[in-house]
Amino acid sequence: MKLSLLFQAACFTTTSISLNQLHGAQAQPLLVEGDLGCLNDGGTSDGDTCRPASSTTGDKPVGSLLPSHLPEPVVFTNFVENTTVSLSNGREVPVSTGTVTQINQFANSGSSSSTLNSATANSESINLATEFSVLPQALSRSSVDNVLSILQDYQYLDEDPDTVDGMPTYEIFVDSPDLYQRQGNNKVRDSDPNFLPYRIQLREKLQAILQPYLTTVLTTFVQQHYPDACSNKGPSRACTPCYSLIRRYRHGDRVSHATHHDGHAIVTVVVSLSDYGLDYRGGLYVSTGFGQHEFMALKKGDAVVHQSTLLHGVKVYDKLERPETTQRWSWILWYRDSTACADYSYEWFADCAQRGSPLCQQLHSTKVGSVPGIDAKDAYNQVLDLNFAAARGGAGGSAIKVARAYLQQLPSRLEFDQTKAAEFFQMAIQSHHPDGHYGMAHLLLAQAQLQQQQQQQSSDNNMYYQDALVVQAVAHLESAAQLGHVYSQFNLGMVHTYGYVTGHINGTLAASWFITSGLPEGYYVAAQQAKAVGDRERYAQLGQRAHALGFMAPWRKQARQHTGSGGAAGVDLNLPWPTAMDGRQPPKL
């Protein structure tokens, strides 16, 4: 996924912490269980948790959300049609069609705040139904097994940072117009003489197995199924599988790929190379919005075909028996509408953006910088206009970008304005975008930190305002965590490590949130906690997992700042926590 030229990553200045410093932090043990007393205004202790008087997320007290409250994986079953399609080459292909309708605030609440009333809500913005197709057994099981036998023992998949989540990709490209390019390519193993000769051979073998399926089934289906996008623009503009790659998900290293749109592909095909249920649970999901995932129960060789408007991601759950052997492999094809693989993506969303679709406006905003001949000022203004319009129409991702631009966490010419930022974070919340909650938590904690400093200066010991702000911030983090927001889940680990809100340090719960986040930083802190209580085996296991996900990789921190918790820059994993009740403060990672 390419980020918008204008809303690129702004380098967040976070104080980095060395390993030694963090070890130093253990001098104040991270893992101490116990009640610090209910210092929150009006809070009550029931011996286990300290409950602030009037703060709840839904009907639960703030601080009481557990990882086990997160939704269980649900399988997508709502196929609207099962049919057989005759391809132009004479083949008959069975196809099931599914539809996902994206939720936005207009569709959901039927009402909106005064700012939003001025939005151009039309039927396209209210009901963005995105269709996708499943082609069962698009690849034969024996071909899949041949692919896996080539890759299963290959130790040197790419480990460059992924553009969606900033963690190692664990992928290998079978084909790409950028293959073997030294300049500006993160695929270092493709220009390293130690790896290159074997990779060339490996690709030839993979191509020999996979290429026939492209020509006879997949590309033919794509061109026939999406005539306007893929075959009606003339022979040189036929849809072409420009990027072909294989990804590995495996217990102990990468098991997820954050929720996203494939804005760089006019059509995507994902072929599962593993069996749902037998090799893994969960897997590829389609999404009506953040937090609402429905998993595709794909068997070996089944293909999913979709366009950029489909919100999707991957979360692999351990299988129930022998969980340590869980793995999922997928073959991914990103099509462009050019036989020469030229990038025409600046055309793809222009018309529907013009017609007022907020999602198209959001997607098109990332493309205007590459419109041929556009000047920088024009592009800047269009990016801004598109994001404002998209945000007001219910596209949460755009609301987040505008909010971050007001905070100057993304480069823009907007004046720094926290009130406006909060307004746009709230808009994102109405669109069920968890980054809205995370943004609000950030603003509230920064305010709490400031008030704490002022109180300390005036030696006024009234903790009330700061606590109220922290309670509100944690309520936002819990709402976001429920929507699968990994930075919020990580920070709930901090809440229970330091006893914020509850007044009770709960190391077990903290570790569970750190691990649930699936972030390398989460595994790292959980490993340190295990070490602090002398659990060396767990320390080694979690430390290994942190390492496999890029903790300590020289690029991880920068990659994290570019991707945030899912493809959008300008957000920090380290929240501005005020000093906790026992005088400690979370380390900055």
Ligand X SMILES: O=C(O)CCC(=O)C(=O)O
Residue 131 C-beta: closest distance to ligand X, Å: 17
| CA dist list (Å): 15 to 9, 521, 588 | 17, 15, 6
Distance CA 160, CA 521 (A): 17
* From the list ligand X, Fe ion, none, partner contacted by residue 553 (C-beta under 5 to 8 A by kind): none
Residue 4 C-beta: closest distance to ligand X, Å: 18
Sorted by sequence, the CB contacts under 8 Å of residue 180 that are 6+ apart come out as: 190, 191, 196
Question: Nearer Cβ to ligand X, position 262 or 337?
Answer: 262
234-253 residues in contact with ligand X (CB under 6 A) are: 247
Residue 329 C-beta: closest distance to ligand X, Å: 8
Distance CA 179, CA 248 (A): 19
- Residue 467 in the binding site for Fe ion (CB under 5 A): no
Of 521, 530, 527, 467, the C-alpha closest to 499 is 467
| CA dist list (Å): 456 to 176, 461, 464 | 58, 7, 13
Distance CA 455, CA 446 (A): 14
* From the list Fe ion, ligand X, none, partner contacted by residue 294 (C-beta under 5 to 8 A by kind): none
* From the list Fe ion, ligand X, none, partner contacted by residue 345 (C-beta under 5 to 8 A by kind): none
- Residue 257 in the binding site for ligand X (CB under 6 A): yes
Distance CA 539, CA 251 (A): 17
Residue nearest to ligand X (CB): 330
Residue 553 C-beta: closest distance to ligand X, Å: 20
CA 324 to chain centre: 24
Question: Nearer Cβ to Fe ion, position 157 or 245?
Answer: 245
Distance CA 341, CA 318 (A): 38
- Residue 433 in the binding site for ligand X (CB under 6 A): no
Question: Nearer Cβ to Fe ion, position 126 or 128?
Answer: 128
Question: Nearer Cβ to ligand X, position 166 or 393?
Answer: 166
How much of the chain is helix, strand and coil, in % rounded to 5? 40, 20, 40
How many alpha carbons fall within 13 Å on the CB side of residue 367? 21
Applying CB under 5 A, among 262, 275, 337, 478 the residue interacting with Fe ion is: 262
Question: Nearer Cβ to ligand X, position 165 or 435?
Answer: 165
First to last CA, the chain: 25
Applying CB under 6 A, among 139, 229, 270, 469 the residue interacting with ligand X is: 270
Distance CA 159, CA 162 (A): 8
Residue 288 C-beta: closest distance to ligand X, Å: 17
Question: Nearer Cβ to Fe ion, position 251 or 264?
Answer: 264
Residue 145 C-beta: closest distance to ligand X, Å: 18
Stretch of 261-269, 317-325, 397-405, 568-576 contacting Fe ion, by CB under 5 A: 261-269
Of 246, 248, 153, 242, the C-alpha closest to 198 is 153
Residue 360 C-beta: closest distance to Fe ion, Å: 18
Instruction: Give yes or no for a contact between 469 and 418, defined as CB atoms under 8 angstroms apart.
Output: no
Residue 389 C-beta: closest distance to Fe ion, Å: 25
- Residue 231 in the binding site for ligand X (CB under 6 A): no
Positions of E strands within 251-338: 256-260, 267-272, 281-289, 292-295, 303-306, 312-317, 327-336
Instruction: Give yes or no for a contact between 380 and 6, defined as CB atoms under 8 angstroms apart.
Output: yes
- Residue 303 in the binding site for ligand X (CB under 6 A): no
Residue 580 C-beta: closest distance to ligand X, Å: 39
Q: Which long-range contacts (CB under 8 A, 24 or more apart) does 377-384 make?
A: 379/5, 379/6, 380/6, 380/413, 383/4, 383/5, 383/6, 383/7, 384/6, 384/412, 384/414
Applying CB under 6 A, among 139, 209, 258, 284 the residue interacting with ligand X is: 284
Applying CB under 6 A, among 159, 262, 279, 302 the residue interacting with ligand X is: 262
- Residue 332 in the binding site for ligand X (CB under 6 A): yes
The residue whose two tokens read 């420009």 is 242
Residue 306 C-beta: closest distance to Fe ion, Å: 9
73-102 residues in contact with ligand X (CB under 6 A) are: none
* From the list ligand X, Fe ion, none, partner contacted by residue 330 (C-beta under 5 to 8 A by kind): ligand X
Q: How many other β-carbons are positioned within 10 Å of the β-carbon of residue 27?
A: 6
Residues in touch with ligand X (CB under 6 A): 247, 257, 262, 270, 284, 312, 314, 330, 332
Residues in touch with Fe ion (CB under 5 A): 262
